[in-house]
Structure 1
Amino acid sequence: MLACKLSVTSTMTSALRVLRSNPVVVMPGHVQRCLSTQTDGEDRITKVLKDKFPLASSLKVVDISGGCGAMYEIHIESSEFKGKRTVQQHQLVNQALKDEIQGMHGLRIFTEVPKQ
């Protein structure tokens, strides 16, 4: 986490330039980037989850740590969760990401079964 803080501090000037050209929507407890590309961490986690949950009808991975990869928010909707309690669904996601989780500070998981 210290490395994350140092990285954020050292790139503050360039980040402000990006923010001027790419506005950020801020809501209590949630930051949404208005950039069109994902971070490397978001891409990596998305690939792992797509491989593990091929029937997922919706998948969104967001780095909510400001881009340093310390914390992610995952929204995944899959029929593979059908018949499982929420805690079991989250355990499946945690198991799929066991290698990636080791380097994270936190993870928010939101799972859902498609309504059909």
Structure 2
Amino acid sequence: MLACKRSLTGTMLSALRGLRSNQVVVSGRVQQRCLSTHTDGEARIRNVLKEKFPLAASLKVVDISGGCGAMYEIHIESSEFKGKRTIQQHQLVNQALKEEIQGMHGLRIFTDIPKD
């Protein structure tokens, strides 16, 4: 049993190393995976947020539902959040995405103010 656990742990570690190095092992072959591919939903949400938060220093939108558009994770850093509590920052993002949110299952929002 212990040998099985060690083997499984080794397999999981190898998989994690592959993810960190931007590689995927398919049938024993190492292939590069493309992390720059964005879904239409990600692009649409990114465009809305760029328009609503033109001072955003950083913006990242990721479809975390496997590409089906049901759930997104948003990381946005903008000076427009200065002086606002976290809940107020999230409300601004929710308001900006009011139309898009109607078709979603869930949304994770991470906001921050740029460090000077």
What residue number does 1:52 align with? 52
Unpaired runs of at least 5, structure 1? 1-17, 24-33
Aligned residues: 89
* Gap change, CA 1:59 and 1:19, over 3 Å in 2: farther
Following the alignment from structure 1 to structure 2, what is the Cα–Cα distance between the partners of residues 19 and 96?
A: 40
Following the alignment from structure 2 to structure 1, what is the Cα–Cα distance between the partners of residues 114 and 84?
A: 13
What residue number does 2:38 align with? 38
Conserved? CA contact 1:22–1:35, under 8 Å: no
Counting only pairs closer than 5 Å after superposition, residues 59-78 of structure 1 correspond to structure 2 as 59-78=59-78
Deviation for aligned residue 1:35 = 2.8
Following the alignment from structure 2 to structure 1, what is the Cα–Cα distance between the partners of residues 110 and 32?
A: 27
Following the alignment from structure 1 to structure 2, what is the Cα–Cα distance between the partners of residues 22 and 44?
A: 26
For 1:3-40, what per-residue CA distance to the aligned partner results, in whole angstroms no more than 9, with x for missing partners? xxxxxxxxxxxxxxx984555xxxxxxxxxx4322100
Conserved? CA contact 1:56–1:80, under 8 Å: yes
SS at the partner of 2:115?
coil
For 1:35-72, what per-residue CA distance to the aligned partner results, in whole angstroms no more than 9, with x for missing partners? 32210000000000000000000000000000000000
How many percent identity over aligned positions? 82
Following the alignment from structure 1 to structure 2, what is the Cα–Cα distance between the partners of residues 45 and 90?
A: 15
Unpaired runs of at least 5, structure 2? 1-23
Larger radius of gyration: 2
Deviation for aligned residue 1:108 = 0.1
Moved >3 Å (runs of 4+):
18-23
